[in-house]
Amino acid sequence: MLAQIKGKRINMNEILTFRDGAEVIRLGQGTWYMGEDASKRQEEIKALQYGIELGMNVIDTAEMYGDGSSEKLVGEAIRGKRENVFLISKVLPWHASSKGTIAACEGSLQRLKTDHLDLYLLHWQGEYPFEETLEGMMELIRQGKIRRWGVSNMDVDEMEKFYSITNGDTCAANEVLYNLSRRGVEYDLLPWCKKKKLPVIAYSPIEQGRILNNEALMDIADKHQVTPSQVALNWVLRNPDVIAIPKAGRVEHVESNYKCLSLVLDSEDYQALDRAFPPPTQKKRLEML
User: How many Cα atoms are found within 13 Å in the side-chain-facing hemisphere of 34?
Assistant: 29
In the DSSP assignment, the letter for residue 115 is S
Of 206, 249, 182, nearest to 47 by C-alpha is 249
Give the separation between CA 51 and CA 88, rounded to whole angstroms. Answer: 15
Which residues, in sequence order, are bridge partners of residue 177? Answer: 203
Residue from 65, 120, 128, 178 carrying the catalytic annotation: 65
Q: For helices 130-142 and 98-112, what crossing angle results, to 10°?
A: 50
Active site residue 33: no
Give the separation between CA 239 and CA 28, rounded to whole angstroms. Answer: 15
Pairing status of strand 4-5 against strand 8-9: antiparallel
154 Cβ neighbours under 8 A, 6+ residues apart: 122, 124, 125, 162, 174, 176, 286
Give the separation between CA 3 and CA 120, rounded to whole angstroms. Answer: 25
270 Cβ neighbours under 8 A, 6+ residues apart: 235, 238
- Scanning 82-167, the segments in alpha helix (DSSP H) are 98-112, 130-142, 156-163
Do residues 64 and 106 touch, judged by C-beta distance below 8 A? Answer: no
Give the separation between CA 25 and CA 8, rounded to whole angstroms. Answer: 13
- What residues are labeled active site? 65
